[in-house]
DNA sequence: TGGTTAACTATGGGATAACATGGGATTTGA
DNA sequence: TCAAATCCCATGTTATCCCATAGTTAACCA
């Protein structure tokens, strides 16, 4: 499981160390690296191991082959997703499209969310976190036993 | 898995480099190249490895032999599909019918969609991408990753 | 318990190989 | 014989690999 929050540096070549905890999650999987795509919901990146993408693929293949939503998801997720392989030190190189989308500049915040994770510009994440905490406080009753979706520690 | 989006040049001879990641997907298959056909849904091309076509064939053979839709699919896909072999440098030569259908002129955008990919004229794809992102954002709730978390941990 | 060592993580820079692309030569088929 | 497609080699650029360093944490032994 991807857990906790880490800030790592992004060097001049666009390289960033993936937190060791995150690397351990995908170790042993079919692809030695992570897959990252720009969120279509805001200025941050979403990512996970190849297993996550295969889960999405299974969901999408249950939809009608020419459903508009299916085509849209395919293009928005698979079309924009980049497989980023680890180098010998556990780093990946972020393509310019991705770091631009998230507004990354020298630092990146990795946020574990269980089955997937997000990458934010640190300042943007701080603000988002404030909003998210307020939202969680206002909606705490929707988290009940039985809905085992996982909370933030 | 075909992933991400790449723009490559189409030279005067109609040759275009297939992205190395895409070549890796079909490597080891029965045919060292890709199979491409014009989409009947718009001005772009669809393609994949031979394995994809065999999957389509199995689907179509489940349909009624004289179903109009079956005949239409057979003609639209199998009748128009061209196997394009890689040259020593990983390029294929696009026949004129195909580049005409997609309106290709000097540049081609390869879009990975998991089990298959599309080839667009770059300007045409940019417009469709914006639509797809907006549609995906507005319909994100129809994509539910299910409650089971934890893939490879 | 205190001190020392060893392993791992994150980071920086330089060398190397792979990729995309252009042009020419050779073969194939009409 | 001529046109067209295929093959072959050359080149610049980009990304990938490989080395070296520092700080931290964990393990170990006296």
Is residue B99 within 8 Å of B45, Cβ to Cβ?
no
User: Which residues 117-146 in chain A show a CB within 8 A of chain B?
Assistant: none
- Distances from the Cα of A78 to the Cαs of A11, A18, A73, in angstroms? 27, 21, 8
Q: What's the structural domain count of chain A?
A: 1
Phi, psi of B9 (to 5 degrees): -85, 150
In a domain, A122, yes or no: yes
| DSSP code per residue over B44-87 | SEEEE-HHHHHHHHHHHHTS-TT-HHHHHHIIIIITT-EEEE--
**Cα torsion angle, A87, A88, A89, A90, sign:** positive
In a domain, B150, yes or no: no
Expressed as residue numbers, the domain containing A100 is: 5-141
In a domain, A149, yes or no: no
Rounded to whole angstroms, how far apart are CA atoms A114 and B123?
38
In a domain, A151, yes or no: no
In a domain, B63, yes or no: yes
In a domain, A45, yes or no: yes
In the predicted model, residues of chain B with pLDDT beneath 70 are 144-153
What pLDDT was estimated at residue A142? 74
Is residue A80 within 8 Å of A18, Cβ to Cβ?
no
What pLDDT was estimated at residue B10? 96
Q: How confident is the model at residue A100 (pLDDT cuts 50, 70, 90)?
A: very high
| Nucleotides of strand C within 7 Å of the protein's CB atoms | 8-14, 18-24
Which nucleotide lies nearest residue A13, CA to C1'?
D15
CA distance B133 to chain A (A): 6
In a domain, A147, yes or no: no
Is B5 (CB) below 7 Å from strand C? no
Q: What is the mean pLDDT of residues A103-110?
A: 95
What pLDDT was estimated at residue B102? 96
Residues 6+ apart with CB under 8 A from B76: B37, B40
In a domain, B148, yes or no: no
Q: Does A58 touch chain B (CB under 8 A)?
A: no
The spacing between the Cα labelled CA in A3 and the C1' in D30, in angstroms, equals: 39
Tell me the per-residue pLDDT of A113-148, one tens digit each, with 9 for 90 and over.
999 999 999 999 999 989 888 888 888 777 776 655
Tell me the per-residue pLDDT of A29-81, one tens digit each, with 9 for 90 and over.
999 999 999 998 899 999 999 999 999 999 998 888 778 888 999 999 999 99
Instruction: Kindly report the CATH number assigned to the domain that includes residue A111.
Output: 3.40.1550.20
Nearest-Å Rg of the Cα atoms of chain B is 17
CA distance B32 to chain A (A): 22
Residue A149, pLDDT > 70, answer no
User: Whose CA is closest to A17, among A31, A29, A4, A6?
Assistant: A6
Is residue A109 within 8 Å of A115, Cβ to Cβ?
no
Rounded to whole angstroms, how far apart are CA atoms B27 and A30?
16
């Amino acid at each position: 499981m991807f857990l906790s929050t880490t800030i790592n540096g992004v060097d001049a070549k666009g390289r960033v160390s993936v937190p060791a905890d995150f690397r351990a999650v995908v170790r042993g999987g079919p692809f030695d690296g992570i897959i990252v795509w720009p969120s279509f919901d805001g200025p941050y990146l979403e990512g996970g191991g190849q297993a996550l993408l295969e889960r999405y693929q299974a969901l999408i293949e249950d939809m009608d082959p020419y459903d508009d939503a299916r085509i849209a998801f395919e293009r928005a997720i698979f079309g924009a997703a980049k497989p980023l392989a680890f180098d010998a030190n556990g780093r990946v190189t972020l393509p310019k499209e991705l770091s631009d989308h998230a507004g990354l500049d020298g630092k990146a915040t990795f946020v574990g969310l269980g089955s997937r994770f997000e990458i934010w510009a640190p300042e943007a994440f701080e603000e988002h976190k404030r909003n998210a905490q307020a939202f969680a406080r206002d909606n705490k009753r929707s988290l009940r036993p039985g809905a085992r979706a996982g909370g933030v520690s």
